[in-house]
Structure formats: structure tokens, C-alpha cells
Amino acid sequence: MKAKRIVTLALPIMLLSACTTETYGLTQSEFRQVDKEFKADKMIEDMKKMHYSDEDIEKQLRGALATIKAKQEEAEKKSKPKKDIQLDSYSKETKTDTGKQSSDKDDTEGFPTDDIDKKEKSTKKLSEKEYVNRAFELRLDLQQEIDSIKAKAKSMMEDGESITKPTIDAITDTRLVLDDLESMNAPKKYEEQQEYLIKEAVTKSREGLNRVEEDIRKFGDGRIGTVRLKEVLEKGMNDVNYGPRLLETLFEDFEADYPGAKQKAMDKKQKEKKDSDEGTVNISANGKELVADWGTYRNGEFNLGFDLKKDGSFLMYESENKEERNQTHMIGEWKYDGIKKEITFKYKKFIEHGSEKEGIDLPPYAEFKVLSFNGDTFEMMELESEVVMKARKR
């Protein structure tokens, strides 16, 4: 793979790999897991000698992957009781200001700011007003993404083609909003509502999204036609919308507690949409609003993460798995031009399997035009390819 393709965020990236690899239906991350445990290249070579078809090779690789995942799940089960015991003595450990023990910190150069698993991430407890405002914003985001699924699915069916990627991407964006809604750190007054009502609503919507995605993929594979898709989508989207309907009374209570909170959120979202439509990008000249860990998603799966740091450095990684991204990533410098509204990435080194990869013909830089920004998400276009991608804060 040419270096330009390695470092261009807008392309389907096999991150930090020196050549294109056939993965037989597995994602790059999954293929690397199999390769690490079972030497995937040797497996494939042996199967080809025995004249295995590509379909049979994929089945064998997926079987190996299933074995790996089963071992991981078993290891997690064994470690869980120990984790529960440690929780009682958590306060005895030295903690950082993020609530994580100092002994857990990763000292890898340029490692992402969210160097703990998402489920373990500790967030600042919101005040009652902050919580209500954030809840209304996410509720509006959720409705916007649900509407986007409907619009893209309708367009997909009307075009008469099995082009499912935009709809799958919209489903992924909806899931990310649900994640944000579920992970809000509620103040004491709203802890029960967060724990029970919001969690139940999120669960219902996720279940509906899973069914919708399954039907969309069946349509893409030609297993169902347009007529059948319309029928199953209607039911599936009703299930997705059931979650927000569960929260109607709760949001009425929020508005009673903080009159005007709903309108404030609506005004904010309308301004963001207006700015996006007009090409207005509200980012400071030094780009401080971009300092965060961002993720991009492709065809329903995590595609690429890039951690933009305050000191002007960045780390780019392909895997959500902490160990994998620790071992394989790219490091460099980034800069935002407030006049041009462009981000420039300069590449310094390329770490593969824990060691710096030599002999990679890295380009000096890559440039991206920021098209829109709302704090939690932004769109940018790679200037050379003119491919647009959407990034969401992790």
C-alpha cells in the first residue's frame, strides 16, 4: 500500500501496513487477531495448497476468530470477581483527576487520551442544569439521526439499487448518540432516571437498530427485495422510535424543572445546522476545540481514530482495542489554519507491532478542509481526493 493511502483518513485504511492484504471478509482488526494467534498467512497458504475456495478460507478464519473471542470471554469471566473486590478498596489507590489509578496509566508515546476502555471511562458528574441541557441536546441529536436513517433508506429503495453504505453509516451515527445518552454522568437528583428510564429506552432503540441493520444488509446481499424491505423497515423503525417515546414524560419533567431548556437546545442545534449549511466553522484560530480523541466509522464499524493533543502532536490508530492500538499506530504533528479552515497532518513515525517501521515512504503532510463543526462531530474533506468523512468525539 502506498504511504499516501496509509495516511489519508478519507480512504478505507488498512492502517500502518506496508502492503494490501486480502482479509477474506474479516476486518483488518479481526485479521490481525487471527494472525497474532494462528499465523493467518501460513493458514491461508496451506489452505490454498489444498485448493480451498475463498469461501472455505473465510469460514476457517472466522472459526479461528470465534475461538479467540471465546477465550477472551472466558478470561473476562474469570477476572470479573477480582474486579468486584477491587472496587471496595478503590479509594486506597492513588488516582488521577480522571478517577483512574495511577498504576493503570499507559506510558506509550502519544497514546490516546482515552487510554481506558469506554465502559471504564470516568466522566465528570454533571450539575442538574448541565445534565438537563445535555439530555435535550442528545434527544434532538437522536431524532435527527433517526430521521437520517429514514431518509437514506427511502433514497436507497427509490434508486432501486442495493447501495446500503449511507444507511448503515446513519445507523452507526444513531448508535453513537445512544452511547452518549447512556453514558451521561447524572447528578444525584436524576440518578434513578438515568439508570432505569434512559437505560431502558436506549436498550429498546438499540434492539430496533440491530433489526433494521440486519434487514438493510439482507437487502444489500439480495436476500430480500424492496417490497419486503419496506415492510420490515416500518416495523424496525417503530421499534427504534419506541425508545424516545418512553422518555416523553421524563423530558416533560426536565422542562418543568428547567423552563426553557428545550428551546435553548433547539436554538443551539438550529444554529449548528445553519452554520453547517452556510459553511461556517466555529473553531478558534488555534484550533483548541479540535483537541480531543476522534473516531470515524465505515460501513457500521470503527474505521480510524485520531487523537489530537494540545501540544500539537497526534496519534492515529485503527483498532479500538487498547493493546492493539498501543502496538500499532502513527505519530506526527497537526496544525489548524483558522483562515483557510484546514487541518494539516505532518507524519513523523510509524509504529508497527511495537517497533518503528523503517523504509516507509511517508509523504511530508496531508491536508483536510473542515466543512462543519458542532463540538461533538465535524466533517472534513481530504483536499487531494475530495472525499468527505465525518468524525465523532470519543
> For the residues of 130-167, what is the DSSP string, one character each?
HHHHHHHHHHHHHHHHHHHHHHHHHHHHHTTS---HHH
Question: Under 8 Å CB-to-CB from 346, ≥6 apart: which residues?
Answer: 332, 333, 334, 335, 364, 365
**Is residue 56, in this structure, part of any structural domain at all?**
no
106 pLDDT above the threshold of 50: no
Domain membership of residue 165 as a residue range: 120-278
Q: DSSP code of 314?
A: E
| Amino acid identity at 199 | K
Identify whether residues 261 and 294 lie together within a single domain: no
Q: How would residue 19 be classed by pLDDT, with cut points 50, 70 and 90? A: very low
Which domain CATH number covers 300?
A: 2.40.128.280
Task: Give percent above pLDDT 70 in the chain.
Answer: 78
Question: Under 8 Å CB-to-CB from 69, ≥6 apart: which residues?
Answer: none
pLDDT digits (tens, 9 = 90+) for 229-241: 888 888 889 999 9
Residues 6+ apart with CB under 8 A from 274: 280
Domain co-membership, 274 together with 131: yes
* 75 lies in some domain: no
Q: Is residue 377 part of a domain?
A: yes
- Tally of CB atoms within 10 A around 317: 26
Q: What was the pLDDT predicted at 300?
A: 64
With respect to residue 176, please indicate whether it lies within any of the assigned structural domains: yes
Q: Domain check: are 171 and 259 in the same one?
A: yes
Q: For the chain, what is the largest distance between any 2 Cα atoms, rounded to a whole number of angstroms?
A: 71
Q: What is the pTM of this model?
A: 0.57
Count: domains in the chain: 2
Residues 6+ apart with CB under 8 A from 83: none
Q: Which helix (H) or strand (E) holds 347?
A: strand 342-352
Q: Do 316 and 203 sit in the same domain of this protein?
A: no
Contact 379, 388 (CB under 8 A): yes
Q: Which of 79-93, 264-278, 379-393 has the lowest mean pLDDT?
A: 79-93
- Among 246, 278, 310, residue at a domain's last position: 278
pLDDT at position 314 over 50: yes
Determine the average pLDDT of the residues in 106-135: 62
Same domain, 125 and 257: yes
Query: Which residues on neighbouring strands pair with residue 346, listed in sequence order?
Result: 333, 365
**Intra-chain end-to-end CA distance of the chain, in Å:** 28
341-360: average pLDDT: 83
With CA atoms as reference, report the closest residue to 394 among 112, 143, 144.
112
Q: Are residues 267 and 313 in the same domain?
A: no
In terms of domains, do 253 and 375 share one? no
Place of cell 438515568: 194
Closest CA to 166 of 323, 29, 298, 7: 298
Domain closes at, from 254, 278, 302: 278
Please list, in sequence order, all residues whose beta carbon lies within 8 angstroms of the beta carbon of residue 130, skipping any fewer than 6 positions away. none
Q: Indicate whether 313 and 381 sit together in one domain.
A: yes
Does residue 19 form part of some domain? no
The angle at the Cα of 126, spanning 121 to 131, to the nearest 5 degrees, equals 115
d(CA 218, CA 185): 37
Whether residues 258 and 293 fall in one domain = no
Domain membership of residue 68 (yes or no) is no
Q: Which of 116, 115, 110 is nearest to 311 (CA)?
A: 110
- Poorest-confidence range of 57-66, 192-201, 270-279, 321-330? 270-279
Residue 190's pLDDT is 94
- For residue 378, give the C-alpha cell: 465535524
Say whether both 230 and 326 belong to one domain. Answer: no
Q: Are residues 238 and 304 in the same domain?
A: no
Number of H helices, E strands in the chain: 12, 9
* Kind plus residue range of the DSSP H or E element containing 302: strand 301-308
Asked if the structure places residue 39 within a domain, the reply is no
Judge if 299 and 253 occupy the same domain: no
Domain boundary among 228, 248, 278: 278
**71 found inside a domain:** no
Q: For residues 352 and 230, what is the distance between their CA atoms, to the nearest angstrom? A: 46
Give the least confident one: 26-35, 286-295, 376-385. Answer: 26-35
Average pLDDT, stretch 143-165? 82
